[in-house]
Structure 1
Amino acid sequence: MKKLIYPVIITEVTDEDGHYFCVSSPNIKGMVTQGDTFEDAVYWTEDAIATMIEGEEYPKPQDPKNWELEPNESIVYVTVDMERWLQDKSYKSINRT
């Protein structure tokens, strides 16, 4: 079983679109996702990371201790279960309606 743990940056945003949480990762270039709640943002982050690294050599998690954060940003560690994600993806593509 291949479980990976990556640190990500969750940014709490309030703007003309409302209040929500954006997620990015210096570890996974180009990975950005969001959620209406903090919990939703973390949930969608697993899918976003898995999508970005599928078929690639898994990047080594960075140590975030030197990342500079804004006051509205937090570091969160997200577990990505690649085996389960690939099984779910396969199941969904076979059983499309």
Structure 2
Amino acid sequence: MSLGTIQYIHRVLKNILSRVEEWGLIKENTMTKVKKPKVEQTEFEFYDEEEAREVIAALYQEARKWRLFVLGAMIGSKRRGELIYNAPIG
């Protein structure tokens, strides 16, 4: 899981247990003792100009849909999930 997802789960659990504590169903919200997970910055690597040219040249050997898919990722700064979610079916 990504660290963002882990932080989200931590926040949701803490909120749920706070509500349950308010309702008197538990004596103490034990999540208040759990430290929030720290997010570490991920360093990204990008293609340099020559590498990008090589990838684009190689894409012209592939089917148009794959060429457009990869170019959309490169030029539009789209992530895989964004491309798949917005891709037409068929």
TM-score over 0.5 (shorter chain): no
Structure of higher RCO (CA pairs closer than 8 Å, 6+ residues apart):
1
State the TM-score bracket (shorter-chain normalisation).
Answer: under 0.3
TM-score for both structures, normalised by structure 2: 0.25
Q: Which has the higher strand share?
A: 1
Q: Which structure's CA Rg is the greater one? A: 2
